[in-house]
Structure 1
Amino acid sequence: MTLFLVLVPISILMGSIGLGAFLWSMKDGQYEDLDGAAVRVLLDDAEDSPIEP
């Protein structure tokens, strides 16, 4: 039973750290453009193509 006195505060602390990290990433704009990265993978940049002789 005394183990719960240690595990419950640790789990609450870890949960609040995870929630804080999630809210920080939302405020920082991490999830603003979810489709942009998927589209940029398919784009062919001119500077990435091999040089033709």
Structure 2
Amino acid sequence: MSVIYILIVISIVVAIVFLVAFIKAVKGGQYDDDYTPSVRMLFDDELVKNKSNKLIQTEKQKSI
């Protein structure tokens, strides 16, 4: 029976260690996204084209 108590204590300690490591990684910027902002500018033109196409289509529909 004492083995169960030891295993429970060890598992709680391991869980706390992982929680502290996760919080430290988040505060340290480990999960910050550095890739997406640098690539976003490559796809901005497509978004502008799609928006302008929608505007042109709505203006054509209004004139009809």
Query: What's the TM-score bracket when you normalise by the shorter of the two chains?
Result: 0.5 to 0.7
1:18 correspondence with 2:49: no
Counterpart in the other structure of 1:8: 8
Which structure has the highest helix share of the two? 2
Taking structure 1 as the reference length, what is the TM-score of the superposition? 0.62
Higher relative contact order (CA 8 A, sep 6+): 1
Structure with bigger gyration radius:
2
Tell me the C-alpha RMSD between the 2 structures.
2.1
Identify unmatched segments of 5+ residues in structure 2.
40-64
Residue deviations 1:1-53, cap 9 Å, x none? 1111110110000000000000000000000116x18x78xxxxxxxxxxxxx
- The letter for the 1-side match of 2:13 is L
What fraction of aligned residue pairs are identical, expressed as a percent?
34
Taking structure 2 as the reference length, what is the TM-score of the superposition? 0.52
What does 1:8-47 correspond to in 2, within 5 Å? 8-33=8-33, 36=35
Identify unmatched segments of 5+ residues in structure 1.
41-53
Number of aligned residues: 38
